[in-house]
């Protein structure tokens, strides 16, 4: 990696909390297939690093696809074989285990590039017994392990706190017994939550749909997702640095999962049941691990649902800490809480309306209203918050032209409240907080991507042409609004993410041809027999087997079908009679 010694020295000298171990019997290289800044801001990645290094006889070192300003491009590296860990500068090929933490489907390509330039055969079937054991985990793998199944010896399904101790113990015991690699993998496959793809023979028909599967005797038919007991664990960032997104911060998990049941949201389903950390546990973690840092980042799928969030923030503020939070549920924003957060350094309030019409809020089961959103904008304006970030989605199931217009109308209404002075009586205060042209509305417009284990897993994506037209319509209608910044997500990247998200092992085969033989993706899909249209542009039959059915997520598929059909009924009822929308009720909390 170009400039690696210089960058390595710069990063290590700036970090606080990194582990150095001299004596060990098992060496693990933990990879994040994205940049250092992103990886070290990922609480899951930091947690795995900490847990492994806490184990006796185990040393875990980190590697990344990119370091800071490094311009190294794995795709154009030729035969260069030099992926090294940050701690020791040793090639990852010299480790016993290479473990990837994968949160984003688009990072699959980087995983394969990193293996290739390290001189490690991509497919598990091509690797000799002397090669490191290649494993992976993370939310992307838990949702659908099949796309990447051809490349890994083991895939860990669920939450690492539960699986890692059993996995490492079994690995070490097998190593002492000097048994074959296949026998070692057989022992590992007996661990709850561990998927060993080589023991499963998946057979597809001509359309890429699962026709049959053969499972080796003694191997579980389904891989049960592991769930952590948050009352018995702590989740915080061990390492802080000025070179990551959350500069010199302590990240602490507030809760895991979400009870709201938005039909598109993977986190709301794969982390069920939703769990909150105890208030005292959160404050204790801050007290014990804050060190010289003065900033605390509270992390969770929906932190605003924590019953003691106000008390937690007040306590941290009184101790002089700056507080960072992820997005807020619009019906949970209060002036008192915002005031505490502003005094603690909050500059940007992030909310996710997702859509802009009453019909679509009911379709996606997001139980908020336009009134809730505008109230949040008003609170942000009166509190003199510098930036208001809004997340929207386009291309959702059952979305019509009027629903895109609803997004545009909502943006205009928020602009009137947030950017312009509320009234003449507020002008003096408004000026003190900053003139209107200094305030910014940041619009993040994201194409819908279907996610496994959600009610919308059977839904199609809009075509590239349709998504471009919707994006252009929004852009045209908001470009003249002062103080509005539009963040457009790549539509082609979103479509690729969709293919990888709901793909099967044939899609993985296509990735192999793309990286190993340097084919374009369309060429690679054709060679692997991947029908992209049938994967993401054609609605799936509710009774057909899905690639990720191999994972027992703990949610009955019949429940997901019921939720999907309920959304369709709401959309159909509104099409026939818009006034009937008020009669369509959805539960405040959706439970399987």
In degrees, rounded to 5, the angle at the alpha carbon of residue 31 between the alpha carbons of residues 139 and 15 is: 110
Q: For residue 96, count other CB atoms closer than 10 A to its CB.
A: 17
Q: What is the pLDDT of residue 580?
A: 59
Mean pLDDT, residues 115-130:
94
Q: What is the pLDDT of residue 592?
A: 52
The answer on pLDDT for 587 being more than 70 is no
pTM of the shown model: 0.92
Q: How far apart are CA 41 and CA 249, in angstroms?
A: 9
Domains of the chain by residue range? 4-224, 231-501
The answer on pLDDT for 427 being more than 50 is no
CB of 139 within 8 A of CB of 177?
no
The answer on pLDDT for 28 being more than 70 is yes
* CATH number listed for the domain at residues 231-501: 3.80.30.20
pLDDT by residue (tens digit) across 215-264?
Answer: 999 999 999 999 999 988 899 999 999 999 888 899 999 999 888 889 99
CB of 371 within 8 A of CB of 418?
no
pLDDT by residue (tens digit) across 53-77?
Answer: 999 999 999 999 998 766 544 434 4
Helices (H), 15-83: 36-39, 43-54
Q: How far apart are CA 191 and CA 136, in angstroms?
A: 15
For 202, the token pair is 């998946």
pLDDT, mean over the chain: 90
pLDDT by residue (tens digit) across 150-202?
Answer: 999 999 999 999 999 999 999 999 988 989 999 999 999 999 999 999 999 98
CB of 501 within 8 A of CB of 145?
no
Q: Which residues pair with 443 in a beta bridge?
A: 390, 486
Q: What is the pLDDT of residue 477?
A: 97
Q: What is the pLDDT of residue 436?
A: 45
Q: What is the pLDDT of residue 329?
A: 82
Smallest CA-to-CA distance from 377 within 368, 365, 366, 385 is with 385
CB of 411 within 8 A of CB of 390?
yes
Q: What is the pLDDT of residue 76?
A: 42
């Amino acid at each position: 990696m170009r400039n690696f010694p210089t960058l390595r020295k710069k990063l290590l000298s700036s970090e606080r909390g990194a582990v150095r171990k001299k004596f060990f019997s098992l060496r693990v290289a933990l990879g994040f297939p994205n940049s250092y800044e992103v990886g070290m801001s990922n609480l899951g990645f930091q947690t795995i690093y900490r847990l492994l290094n806490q184990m006796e006889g185990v040393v875990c070192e980190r590697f990344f696809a990119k370091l800071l300003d490094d311009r190294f491009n794995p795709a154009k590296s030729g035969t260069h074989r030099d992926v090294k860990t940050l701690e020791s500068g040793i090639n990852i090929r010299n480790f016993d285990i290479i473990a990837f933490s994968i949160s984003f489907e688009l990072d699959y390509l980087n995983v394969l590039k990193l293996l290739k330039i390290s001189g490690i055969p991509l497919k598990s079937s091509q690797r000799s017994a002397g090669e490191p054991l290649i494993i992976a985990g993370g939310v992307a793998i838990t949702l659908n392990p099949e796309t990447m199944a051809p490349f890994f010896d083991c895939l860990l399904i669920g939450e690492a706190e539960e699986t890692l101790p059993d996995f490492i113990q079994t690995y070490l015991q097998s190593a002492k017994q000097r048994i074959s690699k296949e026998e070692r993998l057989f022992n590992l496959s007996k661990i709850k939550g561990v998927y060993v793809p080589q023991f499963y023979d998946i057979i597809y028909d001509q359309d890429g749909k699962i026709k049959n599967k053969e499972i080796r005797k003694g191997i579980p038919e389904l891989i049960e997702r592991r769930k952590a007991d948050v009352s018995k664990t702590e989740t915080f960032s061990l390492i802080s640095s000025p070179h990551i997104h959350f500069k010199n911060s302590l990240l602490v998990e507030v809760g895991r999962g979400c009870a709201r049941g938005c039909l598109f949201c993977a986190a709301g389903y794969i982390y069920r049941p939703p769990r909150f950390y105890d208030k005292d546990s959160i404050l204790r973690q801050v007290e014990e691990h804050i060190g010289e840092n003065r900033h605390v980042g509270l992390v969770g799928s929906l932190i605003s649902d924590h019953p003691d969030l106000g008390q937690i923030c007040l306590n941290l503020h009184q101790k002089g800490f700056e507080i960072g939070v992820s997005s807020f549920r619009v019906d949970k924003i209060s002036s008192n809480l915002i005031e505490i957060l502003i005094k603690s350094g909050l500059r940007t309030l992030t909310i996710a309306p997702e859509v802009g019409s009453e019909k679509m809020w009911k379709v996606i089961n997001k139980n908020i209203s336009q009134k809730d959103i505008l109230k949040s904008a008003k609170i942000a304006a009166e509190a003199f918050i510098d930036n208001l970030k809004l997340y929207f989605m386009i291309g959702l199931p059952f979305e019509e032209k009027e629903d895109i217009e609803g997004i545009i109308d909502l943006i205009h209404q928020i602009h009137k409240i947030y950017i312009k002075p509320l009234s003449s009586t507020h002008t003096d205060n408004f000026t003190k907080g900053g003139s209107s042209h200094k305030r910014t509305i940041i619009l993040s417009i994201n194409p819908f991507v279907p996610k496994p284990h959600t009610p919308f897993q059977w839904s199609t994506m809009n075509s590239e042409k349709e998504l471009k037209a919707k994006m252009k319509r929004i852009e045209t209608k908001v470009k003249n609004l002062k103080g509005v910044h539009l963040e457009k997500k790549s539509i082609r990247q979103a479509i690729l993410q969709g293919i990888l998200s709901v793909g099967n092992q044939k899609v993985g085969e296509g990735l192999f041809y793309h990286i190993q033989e340097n084919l374009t993706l369309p060429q690679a899909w054709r060679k692997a027999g991947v029908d992209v249209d049938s994967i993401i542009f054609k609605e799936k039959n509710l009774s057909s087997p899905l690639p990720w059915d191999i994972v027992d997520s703990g949610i009955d598929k019949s429940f997901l079908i019921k939720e999907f059909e309920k959304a369709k009924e709401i959309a159909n009822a509104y099409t026939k009679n818009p006034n009937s929308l008020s009669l369509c009720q959805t539960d405040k909390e959706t439970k399987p």
